[in-house]
Amino acid sequence: MRRCSGLPDVRDYEPADETAWLRCRVLGLLATTCYDDVWPAKRRADLELVAVDGGVTGVLDVSVPGAEATIETVVVHPDHQGRGIATALLAEAVRRLERCGVREVQAWTREDAPALGWFARNGFVEDRRYLQVYASPAEVGTVLSVRYGLEPVGAFLHARIERETELRQRFERVHVCRRMVRELRP
């Protein structure tokens, strides 16, 4: 367990943390463009950290398939945002990843200004982007046709960034999804 002055303890996730982890993640995402990315159970990751201060105040999960790692979740409970908790979680993750020989950590995020600012302040740079398009029930008929007796009621689609202007005119919910990358020193 590592503790920075004035910050919650950062430690490994434990199965008993699951309910608090889910609550922290849901509440932390509500004010973002990922507000509907709700999970009924925690998904496993290779590196799972929590910040704890009387309860789970922040979470960070990283998948590590090899020399490149991916941040799957980094969220701070809204009552504790702005205190450096996400940065403390990242610092501990980077320390462990570098020790294991990981050369790069990446994350995918949308156009939320606080998230983009946090990634930039923590040494991440954008290297790729694409569009995520949500077609509502009213919009889905413009992109999907009915087959096999199925009736689409919505769709989640990907598109090339070059089509952003066109797709924003046709669909109510379009997000720019960015790949943020930080080189590490293994």
**Tens digit of pLDDT for each residue in 79-97?**
999 999 999 999 999 999 9
- Answer whether 157's CB lies under 8 Å from 67's CB: no
Identify the pLDDT of residue 164.
98
**Tens digit of pLDDT for each residue in 50-82?**
999 999 999 999 999 989 999 999 999 999 999
Decide yes or no: CATH 3.40.50.620 for domain 2-107: no
Q: Identify how many contiguous H helices and E strands the chain contains and give both numbers.
A: 5, 9
DSSP string, 85-137: HHHHHHHHHHHHHHHTT--EEEEEE-S-HHHHHHHHHTT-EEEEEEEEEEE-H
Q: What is the DSSP letter of 27?
A: H
Beta carbons within 8 Å of 163's beta carbon, 6+ residues apart: 131
Grade residue 5 by pLDDT with cuts at 50, 70 and 90: low
Average pLDDT of the chain is 94
Average pLDDT over residues 103-124: 97
- Which pTM does this prediction carry? 0.90
Identify the pLDDT of residue 151.
82
**Tens digit of pLDDT for each residue in 147-162?**
788 888 899 999 999 9
Using the predicted structure, report yes or no on whether residue 146 has a pLDDT greater than 80: no
| Burial of residue 10, with CB atoms counted within 10 A of its CB: 0-12 exposed, 13-18 middle, 19 or more buried | buried
**Tens digit of pLDDT for each residue in 11-46?**
999 999 999 999 999 999 999 999 888 899 999 999
Grade residue 165 by pLDDT with cuts at 50, 70 and 90: very high
At position 136, the amino acid (one-letter code) is S
Tokens of 113: 């200004």
- Answer whether 8's CB lies under 8 Å from 52's CB: yes
Tokens of 5: 């002055």
Grade residue 111 by pLDDT with cuts at 50, 70 and 90: very high
CA 82 to chain centre: 17
- Answer whether 78's CB lies under 8 Å from 23's CB: no
Share of the chain above pLDDT 90, in %: 83
- Greatest Cα pair distance, the chain, in angstroms, is 60
Grade residue 4 by pLDDT with cuts at 50, 70 and 90: low
Using the predicted structure, report yes or no on whether residue 2 has a pLDDT greater than 70: no
